[in-house]
Amino acid sequence: MNVDLDNDTSEGAQELQPRKGMKAEELLRELGCVLRMSEADAADLGARDPGDDETMIINMGPQHPSTHGVLRLMLELDGEIVLRTKPIIGYLHTGMEKTGEDLTFLQGPTNVTRMDYASPLFNELVFSMATEKLLGIEEEIPPRAQWIRMLMTEMNRIASHVLFLATNGMDIGAIGMMLYGWREREEVLRFFEKVTGLRMNHNYIRPGGVAADLPDGWRDDVLQVLDPLPERLDEFDLLMTGQPIWRERLQGVGLITAREAIALGATGPILRSTGVPWDLRREMPYLYYDQLEFDVVVGTYGDTFDRYAIRLNEIRESIRIVHQILDKVPSGDYRIQDKKVTPPPRARIDESMEALIHHFKIFTEGFKVPEGEVYVAIESPRGELGCYLASDGRAKPYRMHVRGPSFVNLQTLPHMMRGGFLADGVAVISSVDPIMGEVDR
Amino acid sequence: MSDLAGFELPISDSFGQTVLHVPRERLAEIVMELRDEFGFNMCIDVTAVDYLDYEAPRNLPEGVDPERFEIVVSLLSMLERTRLRLRVQVPEHDAAVPSLFDVHPGTEALEREVFDMFGIRFEEHPDLTRILMPEDWIGYPLRKDYAIGRIPVQFKGIENAR
């Protein structure tokens, strides 16, 4: 009898299977990249004098310049090699989901916009889309409002990715890039200020549409931001992408495979860097993304360099998208003319008592949203940004949960850092591009 | 989606998204089957809702007994480009569900967050500790009986803080 000893014995597999055939979650468990140790245990360890053959536990952050805010990493080191890592988060936790339960649906965007502060408009968009779905008006939002939303979020994607290039450059030692990145971002923020009145935390996209129409001459303003960008991106290529030092520093560092990334729930540039062309704008289109032509940028090796290159090229794709949007923004209303959710226009308030009362009531009491629960997801610069809303028919959400891509993506960090140098860890953290406001909420 | 009927579990529809109501003891097993047989290869989100003072009638299909807590799991099939939501009723007196860590390792942080915020235990979770709140925090902030803004500030290591 011919028994396949590898698989067919009565007790299951008897031989060690090759790594290749392992399921991603088994592999992740076997490698054990995550350090599971409470703070008290770590403090005990620190009090002991480590012997020669022992590994060392050190803390990086929460005040480290390259941890992007207040991220703290507990690292197990063998000399200079990172073994296990535990990201410790929560330093920016302000209970925004709890706060969200105490704000009306109209006030909600002011709250969620503060989560991912590098791309605030995406938070507002996903919250507004979830609210509109509960209200059952998502089909009735005027096309102009939807196109304005797309214009603003794509501009925001550019700002967010440029900010990534800046901080990434600074982390790795290209200090010049830091200045250029902030400069480009400032151009976009100036446009945002003109449209929304604020540089950050705009509260511009609201349930029912957007807060205000685009100002006169907005096309020229957008073009003024966009036109110098391609040339500057080429400059960045010259400054970094082709540089041997830059490539040596990033290539082959912080590797992750597609199976690992999917098992860990990673989305956005981290997943795409492994070669999976998953972009919600393309795969599950929302707004009018199905009417646009753009490419989903993917990597090959899943290393830090791929993640850098993907973000750089996504800026180019976003520029392409914005140019198409400029041609397509129709005229019309910028918010739904549904008296239930939309306050009366400012001019009416001066002449009509009813309009004044209506305006007052909508901003103090809010509008009632039918009961139900809904999950909506969009592609933020960092991955899948989701919003889960449960309503019990009142004017405030019963439960508001935001699935922050940074929060989930941060779990890939221990796996990407394992076996690398501590100095490379800085590059890896940077390539995850976590925004701590969204991680901690 | 018709083949989901093979589970013989109540299915409902929420704004075009299929919702499967899973008994909590079968959660991990069903998520694994959904991953291996139905192609739901990614667990996008795990969260919870505390239905303590929900004013509207609980809109649950027949055969599902409402409990105080509900675990909400969002699954994604990248091949079919569909989403599936699982809702699991969790009673207050025994707030525990099987962990999905063995099926989708990416649920680790999400489950820790639910534990931190709601006090729902995930059995067999490798490191079920607080994630956003300090380790020695008392109470579960997102529960509905946890008032906002009315608690003394808790400082670590300082005695007699208020």
CATH classification at residue A155? 1.10.645.10
For residues A362-384, one letter each, b for 16 or more C-beta atoms within 10 angstroms of the residue's C-beta and e for the rest, the string is beeebbebebbbbbbbbbbbbbb
Q: Which residues does residue A400 pair with via DSSP β-bridges, in sequence order? A: A389
Examine residue A241 and state whether it is found in any structural domain, yes or no.
yes
Q: CB-CB: which of B78, B83, B126 is closest to A278?
A: B78
Examine residue A356 and state whether it is found in any structural domain, yes or no.
no
Segments in chain A below pLDDT 70:
1-25, 27-31, 40, 43, 45-53, 64-67
Examine residue B41 and state whether it is found in any structural domain, yes or no.
yes
Examine residue A44 and state whether it is found in any structural domain, yes or no.
no
Q: Which two tokens stand for residue A296?
A: 């989903």
Question: What domain range is A227 assigned to?
Answer: 96-340+367-408+420-440
Q: CB-CB: which of A29, A375, A398 is closest to B85?
A: A375
DSSP state of A9: B
Examine residue B132 and state whether it is found in any structural domain, yes or no.
no
For residue A266, the SS3 value is coil
For B76-122, write each residue's pLDDT tens digit. 998 888 999 999 999 988 888 999 888 888 898 999 999 999 999 99
CB B148 within 8 A of CB B132: no
Examine residue B65 and state whether it is found in any structural domain, yes or no.
yes
Per DSSP, chain A holds a count of helices (H) and strands (E) of 20, 8
Q: CB-CB: which of B49, B102, B127 is closest to A25?
A: B102
Q: What is the pLDDT of residue A190?
A: 92
- A263 vs B50: CB contact, 8 Å cut-off? no
Q: Which residue has the tokens 């009927």?
A: B5
Angle at A223 between CA A201 and CA A109, to 5 degrees: 15
Residue B2 has pLDDT above 60, yes or no: no
Examine residue B139 and state whether it is found in any structural domain, yes or no.
no
- Euclidean distance between the first and the last CA atom of chain B, given in angstroms as a whole number: 56
- Number of structural domains chain B divides into: 1
Q: What is the pLDDT of residue A6?
A: 55
How far is A103 from A126, CA to CA, in rounded Å? Answer: 16
Q: What is the pLDDT of residue B162?
A: 47
Ramachandran sector of residue A145 (left: φ over 0; alpha: ψ -120 to 50; beta: rest): alpha
How far is A276 from B42, CA to CA, in rounded Å? Answer: 13
Examine residue A62 and state whether it is found in any structural domain, yes or no.
no
- B104 vs A25: CB contact, 8 Å cut-off? yes
Examine residue B136 and state whether it is found in any structural domain, yes or no.
no
- B17 vs A408: CB contact, 8 Å cut-off? no
Q: What is the pLDDT of residue A24?
A: 67
What CATH number has the domain bearing residue B84?
Answer: 3.30.460.80
For B20-78, write each residue's pLDDT tens digit. 888 888 888 889 888 888 888 899 999 999 988 888 788 888 878 888 899 999 999 98
Question: What domain range is B46 assigned to?
Answer: 2-123
Angle at A372 between CA B146 and CA B8, to 5 degrees: 105
DSSP state of A215: P
How high is the ipTM of this complex?
0.88
DSSP state of A274: T
Examine residue A88 and state whether it is found in any structural domain, yes or no.
no
- A403 vs B44: CB contact, 8 Å cut-off? yes
Examine residue A330 and state whether it is found in any structural domain, yes or no.
yes
For A10-36, write each residue's pLDDT tens digit. 555 555 555 566 666 676 666 677 777
- B106 vs A410: CB contact, 8 Å cut-off? no
How far is A322 from A243, CA to CA, in rounded Å? Answer: 30
| Closest Cα in chain B to A35 | B127
- Number of structural domains chain A divides into: 1
Examine residue A51 and state whether it is found in any structural domain, yes or no.
no
Examine residue B29 and state whether it is found in any structural domain, yes or no.
yes
Ramachandran sector of residue B126 (left: φ over 0; alpha: ψ -120 to 50; beta: rest): alpha
Q: Does B39 touch chain A (CB under 8 A)?
A: no
